Amino acid sequence: MRTKRSPWLGIHALVMLIFIYVPIAMIILFSFNESRLSAEWSGFTLDWYTSLFQNEHVMDALKNTLIVAITSTVAATILGTLAAIGVRRVARKLKLATNALLYLPIVIPDIIMGISLLVLFNLMEIDLSRWTIIIAHITFSISYVYVVVTSRLSTMGKQLEEAAEDLGASPWQTFRFVTLPQILPGVVSGAIIAFTMSLDDFMVSFFVAGPSSTTLPIYIYGQVKRGISPEINALCTLLILVSVALIFLAQYMLGRGKGQKKQRMLPF
Amino acid sequence: MKKKSGLVVLPVFLWLSLFLVVPMLIVVGISFLRRDELGNLIYQFNWEAYATFFDKLYLGIYWDTIVLSVLTTLICLLLSYPLAYYIARSGPRMQTWGLALVTIPFWINFLIRTYAWVLLLRTQGIVNNLLLDLGWITEPMQMLYTKGAVLMGMVYTFIPFMVLPIYVAIEQMDKRLLEAASDLGASPSRAFWHITLPQTKSGITTGAILVYVSTTGMFVVTDILGGAKSSMISNIIQTQFLGARNWPFGAALSVIFVITSLVLIFLFNRAMTTRVDRVKEGRI
């Protein structure tokens, strides 16, 4: 049903979208601005992008970021998918406990997760490195994979799996030939979300990154605290494009599959 | 066989226990310890860290943090509800687009979105330049490194957290109630206050909790838009662990942060239900 809406609602919505997008648009626009310092447009250039790719620190941070994102995504996707499949078959109490445990990383403020991992690594005398960031990222990414795969599983029912088992398939065969093909879009989209989360994470990484394992967001933070620079505009623009592209890809994967009810991708 | 395949939950259980639950318990434990001059922990139970919190300075900072978080939540709610309502009541095409447009910023790094405001607000920034060019001001205004900038940065960062749950609540609500209300002669505004608003309180609650907790835990916005002058509880927690090396105090602050958040969430939840119940009993 479409109810009559006051025109003010439409104007408000428009103003809000302008409020949300103008700052982002400014970063993108000024990443192409010729002048290094001015806040006024002085001509188009791609110099900041080329200097970005010649900047050793940026390339180093990019390398760290990608290694962390890829490793943590693979691990979190496997763990999260297994949990989503397994949780349907455990006793009710254990199911509630698992659910609670898996929602924790989403609910707990990032700063708390960051400091508690820092404390853990410190007490265990593990030096902060790429690996500590990877562990941290796996910890928060599992939940996102779990949520997406669970919602996918809930649309498919158990009949096919039960039929496979009745016909003598082993648990592995059932998983490989029945469950996995059906949930694959969910798994892929969960993996993309985990990847994006890892790529973008600052709060947790900030506490568990060692001096030689700077990631892109940590690098950006250091630069931003020193002031603005057109290279940072360019770097931010690239990150914005990558994040948005990945999210559209995840959404597309989730919407695939015949006869499936289209799922909305919300982080909660 | 059924039981066996449930075993695949085990790795996640172990992982999250080791890297999430145990570390948090350790933090709680540390909050009851002391440290020596070098920052090393002294394993002896005491309340020193909590006692430090009740210093005027820290109480004041925490009060400011709560005020800022509540303000951010309120402003987000006031701005988001009409927007979520507009999107939820649009045609299917507009709904998809509206939702996408509101969701996209959620996936863009908040660090980048905060930095955008530095570009806009600094003394030689875009806004000041524009206003000078227009002749509306003669001297650049100080906008960055003010409390207003922090508040706006927080609202800007967390608005998607509020719009999405409210949208879901409005979208899922039983529209027949509105038809019934209109058939019975209720004006649209009456129907809104007595049906739509109470029916969507779950969305408001979720959104408010997400925004409140996230604001309290967010030290970056204060750091970048507020400058060195303003600090929040999360800035102090961060310094205790990374700079000052006073772990017990940082741990105690974290415990206080989580507990007060839980208490506020509980109170808010209760306030929301009683209000709705009152409406239900009295009018519907």
Annotated domain spans of chain A: 55-255
The Cβ of residue B231 has, within 10 Å, a number of other Cβ atoms equal to 18
The predicted pLDDT at position B279 comes to 59
Count CB pairs under 8 A between chains A and B. 249
C-alpha R_g of chain B: 24
pLDDT in tens, A179-194: 888 899 889 989 998 9
Q: What is the mean pLDDT of residues B5-31?
A: 92
pLDDT in tens, B90-114: 888 888 888 889 888 888 888 999 9
Window 239-268 of B, Cβ < 8 Å to A: 241-242, 247, 250-251, 254, 257-258, 261
* Residue type at A21 in one-letter notation: Y
Structure tokens at B117: 């405001």
Contact (Cβ atoms closer than 8 angstroms) between residue A45 and residue A34: yes
Instruction: Tell me, yes or no, if B220 comes closer than 8 A to chain A by beta carbon.
Output: yes
| B175 neighbourhood in chain A, CB within 8 Å | 1
CATH dotted code for B51-282: 1.10.3720.10
Contacts of B86 in chain A (CB under 8 A): 5, 9-10, 12-13
ipTM above 0.90? Answer: no
Helices marked H in chain B: 2-5, 10-16, 22-30, 48-53, 56-88, 92-107, 110-121, 126-134, 147-172, 176-183, 188-191, 197-199, 201-217, 220-225, 233-242, 247-282
Taking an 8 Å cut-off on Cβ atoms, the answer to whether A12 and B15 are in contact is no
Å between A24 CA and nearest CA of chain B = 6
Residue contact A112–B254, C-beta within 8 A: yes
B116 min Cα distance to partner chain A (Å)? 5
pLDDT exceeds 80 at position B2: no
Query: A86–B7: do the CB atoms touch at under 8 Å?
Result: yes
Mean pLDDT of chain B: 87
**CATH number attached to the domain at A55-255:** 1.10.3720.10
A1–chain B Cβ distance below 8 A for any pair: yes
| A60 vs B: CB within 8 A | no
Residue window 163-192, chain B: list those with CB within 8 Å of chain A: 164-165, 168, 175, 178-179, 188
**Predicted pLDDT of residue A266:** 44
Write down the pLDDT at residue A64. 95
pLDDT tops 80 at residue B274: no
Q: Does A198 touch chain B (CB under 8 A)?
A: no
Q: What pTM did the predictor assign?
A: 0.87
Q: A187: Cβ–Cβ under 8 A, 6 or more apart, which residues?
A: A77, A81, A145, A149, A152, A180
CB contact under 8 A, B120 and A23: yes
pLDDT at B114: 93
Residue of B nearest to A132 (CA): B19
Q: Which residues of chain A have pLDDT under 70?
A: 1-5, 38, 256-268
pLDDT digits (tens, 9 = 90+) for B222-255: 989 987 666 889 999 999 998 878 999 999 999 9
Q: What is the pLDDT of residue B4?
A: 59
Nearest to B107 among A4, A171, A247 (CB): A247
Contact between A12 and B82 using a beta-carbon 8 Å cutoff: yes
CA distances from B243 to A17, A217, B39, B238, B247 (A): 39, 20, 11, 8, 10
Cβ within 8 Å, pair A27-B112? yes
Q: Which residues contact A74 (CB under 8 A, 6 or more apart)?
A: A191
CA neighbor of B160 nearest in space, from B79, B231, B89: B79
The residues pairing with A44 across neighbouring beta strands, listed in sequence order, are A33
